[in-house]
C-alpha cells in the first residue's frame, strides 16, 4: 500500500536568507516590487523542487509569505484597518505598513504597525489583525490561488494552505474604539472564504489544508464548537474541494471529540506533541476521513527515531485498514526549523551532523516513512543509517557528563533557598550597600554603537587581536561607568559591549552547546535568529563574566556595579533544546552553571547581581492544566541559580513585561531582592496585580519606554513615579528605565537618564520634607 507524504509548510527565507535580502531591499528602495515578486517566485520554485526531489507526494503552497502568514490571511480577507488603506491603494506598501509601520514624510504618512504577538509557544511572532465593529470583509488578495497555479504550472501536485476562519478571528483583536469580539464576525467573514475556496477549486485544487491551530488551546467548547460547525458547514458547500482540518503544537485533548465529527474530509494530528491523542483519535475520527499523521517534529532540529515513528505509523495504518487513506507529514509547518544541514557540513563535526535534521532532512525523513509503509526493504539502508545515528546520539560520551548529572541529583532543599528571608536580607543589604531612598539603576545594556559592532566584527575576522579588542572593550566600559557615576545613578552597569545577544554569549562559554553556521529561523518579518543547539549535559568550564565585572567595579570605587547574567529558563527557551531528557532537567543543568558564576561574582567583590529571565512568561504551556508543573520547575531553576550567595548580596531580576496576573505567585516565589519590569505601557495592569497579590520585595517599574527614541520629560516621569508611590512603599521603590538601552543612541540615553535621576532626587527631597 502506498501512502501520501507531505509537509504542512516549508521555511520561507531560503537557504541563504534570500527573502530577507529581497524584502529589506524593497523597503530601502533598492529592489523594485517586480524584482521582489520575481525573486520570491524563484524561491518558491526552488523550495518545491527541493521537496519533490525527495519524492514528497504533495507540496504545500500558500505557506510562503513576504512577512507573516497571519498578516497574509487578514490582508486576503480585507481586514485592513482604515489607517493603512490610504497607503498605496491598500497594495504591497500597505501590507508592509501593517507589518512594520510606515513613516514617509514626503507623502505625509506616519502609521505604526499592527501589534505583534508570539505564535503560540514558538519563537515566531505574528501580526495581530484588528477587527472593528463595522468590519466588512472582501477577497482582497488571491495570493494563495496564484501560488497554487504557479506550482501546478510547474507540474507539482500541490495543496493550498490557508489559515482557517475560526483561528483567524480567534487570533485577532477588537480594534480600538470597538467592542464586538472578533469571533462575532464569523458570519460576515465566511463568504470570503467560500469565494476564495471556490477559486481554488476552479483552479484545480483537490485538497485545502485549513490551519486551525486554536484547536490545541483551552477553548470554551460551547462557543467554539458552534463556530467550527457553522464555519465548516458553510465551507462544505464549495463543491469539489476537500478540507484537511489542521491543528498543531499540542494535543487536541478535549476538543477532539467534537472536532473529529466536523464536516471535513481529513484531520491532521500533531503526533509529536499530541501523541497522547492517538488512541482516542483512532476511535473518534470517522472512517471516511483521512488521518494526516504528523510524525516528524517541525519545531526541533533532531533526527527523528524513524523506527519508533514507523511503529506508530504502522499502528495507524493497520487500525484504519478499510477506512480513508492515511498520510504522513510533519507535526507542524517546518517554518520553525532551519532550512538545510548542507551548509553545516565542514562547520559541525561528523558526529553532531549525524544527530541533526533541518527542514530539508525532515522532508527526506517523511518520504522514508512513507516508502517504508509501502515496502520496507526499499528503504532498508536509510532506516539502518538512521538507527545508527540515533544510537550514536544515545551512546555518545560527549552528551552525558556523569558529574553534572550526579550533582543535580544530589541537590537538597538548601540549594534552592537563600540563607535568610527577604526582610532580614533587606536590612543587611541596606547596611552594606548604603543606597539612597529610591535608588536609580538601568537594566543592563548601553547603546551598541556602530563603533562597538565594528570592533566586534573586526575581532571575529581577525583584523583586531584579542588584546586589542579587550582593550577597546575596557575603554568603552570605563567611559560608560564614568558617565553613569557623573549622571548620579546609584547602581551602575558595565554596559554589555562584549555581548551580541543575551543567550549566545553564555552558550559560547558553556559546554554542551554548539552553534550552527546557517541555522536561521524566522523570528518575525525579515528578522531571523540563529538559536544555539543544546546537545549535551551543560557545564561551565571557566568563569564567564567575572573579569569584565571586576574591571567594571574597579572603575567605580564608590558605587556598586551589577553583575549581569541570563537566567536558565531564558537560555533554554531561546535555544534548540535536546529532546532526550525533560526540559526541566536541561534547565537545572544550566542553572548550576549560572549558580557557579553567581558565587564567583560574589567572591570577586560584586555585591549586586542581576539574573534576567524575560522568557519565563513566554515559556508558559498552551494548556492551563500544564501551567503548574512548568511554573514549579522554572521557579526552582531560577532559585537554584541565585540562592548560593550571602544575605548581603542583592539579587535582581528583570522582566520585559508587567502583565503578570497569570504568573504573579511564581514571580513572588523567585525570592529575588529586586525586580525591574516593563511598566511604561501598562500601568494599570501592573498596579492592579500588585494590589491583588501583594508584593513585599523591592521593585522598579520602568519609568519610561526605551523602545522609542523620544526623551521623557522630568514632569511626565515624576507624575508616573508619584502614582507608583501610592501602591509601593517608598523603601521598596526603585527608579529605572523599562528595559536595556542597547538599541538606543547615546544622546537620548544621556538626556533620559539625567531626567530620571532628577526625578528620584526630587522624590527623595519631597519624601524627607
Ligand atoms: Zn527588558
pLDDT at 108: 80
- Averaged pLDDT score across all residues of the chain: 95
> 445 CA distance to ligand 1 centroid (A)?
10
Q: How far is the CA of 500 from the centre of ligand 1 (A)?
A: 15
Q: What pLDDT, in 10s, does the model give residues 410-432?
A: 999 999 999 999 999 999 999 99
Give the distance (Å) from ligand 1 centre to CA of residue 562: 16
pLDDT of residue 515: 96
DSSP assignment of 131-174 equals E-TT--------HHHHHHHHHHHTT--EEEEEE-HHHHHHT-EE
Q: Look at residue 682 in the predicted model and tell me its pLDDT.
A: 54
Q: Which of these is catalytic: 542, 693, 707, 767?
A: 707
Distance 740 CA to ligand 1 centre (A): 6
pLDDT of residue 678: 83
Based on C-alpha coordinates, what's the Rg of the chain? 27
In 3D, which of 510, 517, 530, 655 has the Cα closest to residue 591? 510
DSSP readout, 261-279?
TSS-SEEEEETTT-GGGHH
Distance between Cα 714 and ligand 1 center (Å)? 22
d(CA 53, CA 313): 23
Conformation bin of residue 647: beta by default, left when phi > 0, alpha when psi is -120 to 50: alpha
Q: Do residues 260 and 234 make contact, with C-beta atoms less than 8 angstroms apart? A: no
- Residue 43 C-alpha to ligand 1 middle, in angstroms? 36
DSSP string, 747-766: HHHHHHHHHHHHHHHHHHHH
Question: Of 103, 36, 87, nearest to 65 (Cα)?
Answer: 36
Mean pLDDT in residue range 608-631: 94
CA of 674 to the centre of ligand 1 (A): 14
Confidence check: pLDDT of 318 > 60 = yes
Distance 496 CA to ligand 1 centre (A): 14
pLDDT-derived band at 134 (thresholds 50, 70, 90) equals: very high
DSSP 27-62: HTTSS-HHHHHHHHHHHHHHHHHHHHHTT-S-EEES
* Grid cell listed for 747: 544622546
Q: Catalytic: 339?
A: no
Q: Kindly state the average pLDDT of the residues 163-185.
A: 97
Alpha carbon of 444 to ligand 1 centroid (Å): 9
User: Under a CB-based contact definition with an 8 Å cutoff, are residues 273 and 294 in contact?
Assistant: no
Whole-number pLDDT of residue 112? 86
pLDDT surpassing 80 at residue 660:
no
**How many angstroms is it from 708 CA to the middle of ligand 1?**
13
List CB-based neighbours of ion ligand 1 within 5 Å: 656, 739
Tell me the C-alpha to C-alpha distance, in Å, between residue 326 and each of 3, 305, 316, 362.
Answer: 6, 20, 8, 19
Expressed in angstroms and rounded, the spacing between residue 111 Cα and the centre of ligand 1 is: 24
Q: Residue 196: is its pLDDT beyond 80? A: yes
| Mean pLDDT across 483-488 | 98
Q: Would you say residue 332 has pLDDT above 90?
A: yes
Ligand 1 centre to CA of 335 (Å) is 26
562 falls in which pLDDT band (50, 70, 90)? very high
Residue 483 pLDDT: 98
Model confidence over 225-257: pLDDT tens digits? 999 999 999 999 998 899 999 999 999 999 999
How far, in Å, is the centroid of ligand 1 from the Cα of 499?
Answer: 15
Q: How far apart are CA 163 and CA 70, in angstroms?
A: 7
User: 563-608: per-residue pLDDT in tens?
Assistant: 999 999 999 999 999 999 999 999 999 999 999 999 999 999 999 9
The predicted structure's pLDDT at residue 115: 92
Global pTM value = 0.94
Which cell goes with 632?
Answer: 514549579
Amino acid at each position: 500500500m502506498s501512502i501520501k507524504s507531505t509537509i504542512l509548510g516549508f521555511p520561507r527565507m531560503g537557504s541563504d536568507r534570500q527573502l530577507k535580502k529581497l524584502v529589506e531591499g524593497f523597503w530601502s528602495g533598492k529592489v523594485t516590487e517586480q524584482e521582489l515578486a520575481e525573486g520570491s517566485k524563484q524561491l518558491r520554485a526552488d523550495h518545491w523542487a527541493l521537496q519533490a526531489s525527495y519524492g514528497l507526494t504533495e507540496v504545500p503552497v500558500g505557506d510562503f509569505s513576504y512577512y507573516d502568514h497571519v498578516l497574509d490571511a487578514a490582508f486576503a480577507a480585507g481586514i485592513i484597518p482604515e489607517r493603512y488603506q490610504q497607503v498605496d491603494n491598500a497594495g504591497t506598501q500597505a501590507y508592509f505598513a501593517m507589518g512594520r509601520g510606515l513613516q514617509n514624510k514626503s507623502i505625509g504618512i506616519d502609521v505604526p504597525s499592527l501589534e505583534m504577538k508570539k505564535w503560540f509557544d514558538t519563537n515566531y511572532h505574528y501580526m495581530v489583525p484588528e477587527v472593528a465593529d463595522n468590519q466588512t470583509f472582501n477577497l482582497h488578495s488571491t495570493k494563495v490561488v496564484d501560488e497554487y497555479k504557479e506550482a501546478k504550472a510547474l507540474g507539482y501536485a500541490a495543496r493550498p494552505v490557508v489559515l482557517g476562519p475560526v483561528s483567524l478571528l480567534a487570533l485577532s483583536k477588537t480594534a480600538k474604539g470597538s467592542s464586538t469580539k472578533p469571533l462575532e464576525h464569523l458570519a460576515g467573514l465566511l463568504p470570503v472564504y467560500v469565494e476564495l475556496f471556490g477559486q481554488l477549486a476552479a483552479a484545480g485544487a483537490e485538497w485545502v489544508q485549513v490551519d486551525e491551530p486554536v484547536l490545541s488551546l483551552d477553548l470554551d467548547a460551547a462557543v467554539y464548537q458552534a463556530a467550527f460547525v457553522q464555519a465548516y458547514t458553510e465551507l462544505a458547500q464549495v463543491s469539489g474541494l476537500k478540507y484537511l482540518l489542521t491543528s498543531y503544537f499540542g494535543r487536541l485533548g478535549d476538543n477532539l471529540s467534537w472536532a473529529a465529527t466536523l464536516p471535513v474530509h481529513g484531520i491532521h494530528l500533531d503526533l509529536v506533541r499530541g501523541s497522547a491523542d492517538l488512541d482516542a483519535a483512532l476511535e473518534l475520527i470517522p472512517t471516511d476521513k483521512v488521518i494526516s499523521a504528523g510524525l516528524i517534529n517541525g519545531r526541533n532540529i533532531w533526527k527523528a527515531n524513524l523506527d519508533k515513528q514507523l511503529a506508530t505509523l504502522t499502528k495507524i495504518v493497520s487500525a484504519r485498514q478499510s477506512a480513508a487513506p492515511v498520510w504522513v507529514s510533519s507535526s507542524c509547518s517546518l517554518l520553525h526549523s532551519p532550512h538545510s544541514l548542507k551548509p553545516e557540513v565542514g562547520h559541525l563535526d561528523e558526529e553532531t551532523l549525524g544527530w541533526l535534521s533541518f527542514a530539508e532532512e525532515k522532508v527526506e525523513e517523511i518520504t522514508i516513512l512513507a516508502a517504508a509503509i509501502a515496502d520496507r526493504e526499499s528503504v532498508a539502508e536509510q532506516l539502518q543509517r538512521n538507527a545508527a545515528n540515533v544510537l550514536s546520539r544515545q551512546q555518545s560520551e560527549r552528551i552525558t557528563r556523569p558529574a553534572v548529572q550526579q550533582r543535580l541529583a544530589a541537590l537538597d532543599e538548601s540549594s534552592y533557598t537563600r540563607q535568610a528571608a527577604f526582610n532580614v536580607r533587606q536590612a543587611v543589604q541596606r547596611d552594606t550597600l548604603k543606597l539612597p531612598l529610591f535608588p536609580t539603576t538601568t537594566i543592563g545594556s548601553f547603546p551598541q554603537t556602530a563603533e562597538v559592532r565594528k570592533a566586534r566584527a573586526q575581532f571575529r575576522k581577525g583584523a583586531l587581536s584579542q588584546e586589542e579588542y579587550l582593550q577597546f572593550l575596557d575603554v568603552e566600559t570605563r567611559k560608560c561607568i564614568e558617565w553613569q557615576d557623573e549622571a548620579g545613578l546609584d547602581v551602575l552597569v558595565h554596559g554589555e559591549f562584549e555581548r551580541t545577544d543575551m543567550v549566545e554569549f553564555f552558550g559560547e562559554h558553556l559546554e554542551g552547546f554548539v552553534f550552527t553556521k546557517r541555522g536561521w529561523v524566522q523570528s518575525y518579518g525579515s528578522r531571523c535568529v540563529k538559536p544555539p543547539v543544546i546537545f549535551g549535559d551543560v557545564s561551565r568550564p571557566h568563569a564567564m563574566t567575572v573579569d569584565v565585572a571586576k574591571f567594571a567595579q574597579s572603575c567605580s570605587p564608590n558605587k556598586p556595579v551589577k553583575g549581569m547574567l541570563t537566567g536558565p529558563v531564558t537560555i533554554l527557551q531561546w535555544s534548540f533544546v535536546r529532546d532526550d531528557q525533560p526540559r526541566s532537567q536541561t534547565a537545572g543543568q544550566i542553572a548550576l552553571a549560572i549558580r557557579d558564576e553567581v558565587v564567583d561574582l560574589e567572591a570577586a567583590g560584586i555585591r549586586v547581581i542581576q539574573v534576567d529571565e524575560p522568557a519565563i512568561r513566554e515559556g508558559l504551556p498552551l494548556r492551563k492544566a500544564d501551567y503548574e508543573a512548568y511554573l514549579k520547575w522554572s521557579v526552582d531553576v531560577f532559585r537554584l541559580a541565585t540562592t548560593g550567595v550571602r544575605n548581603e548580596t542583592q539579587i535582581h531580576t528583570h522582566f520585559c513585561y508587567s502583565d503578570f496576573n497569570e504568573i504573579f505567585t511564581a514571580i513572588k516565589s523567585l525570592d529575588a531582592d529586586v525586580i525591574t519590569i516593563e511598566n511604561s505601557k501598562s500601568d494599570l495592569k501592573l498596579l492592579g496585580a500588585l494590589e491583588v497579590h501583594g508584593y513585599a520585595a523591592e521593585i522598579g517599574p520602568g519609568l519610561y519606554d526605551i523602545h522609542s527614541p523620544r526623551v521623557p520629560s522630568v514632569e511626565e516621569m515624576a507624575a508616573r513615579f508619584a502614582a507608583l508611590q501610592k501602591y509601593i512603599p517608598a523603601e521598596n521603590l526603585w527608579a529605572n528605565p523599562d528595559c536595556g538601552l542597547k538599541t538606543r543612541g547615546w544622546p537620548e540615553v544621556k538626556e533620559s537618564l539625567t531626567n530620571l535621576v532628577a526625578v528620584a532626587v526630587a522624590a527623595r527631597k519631597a519624601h524627607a520634607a
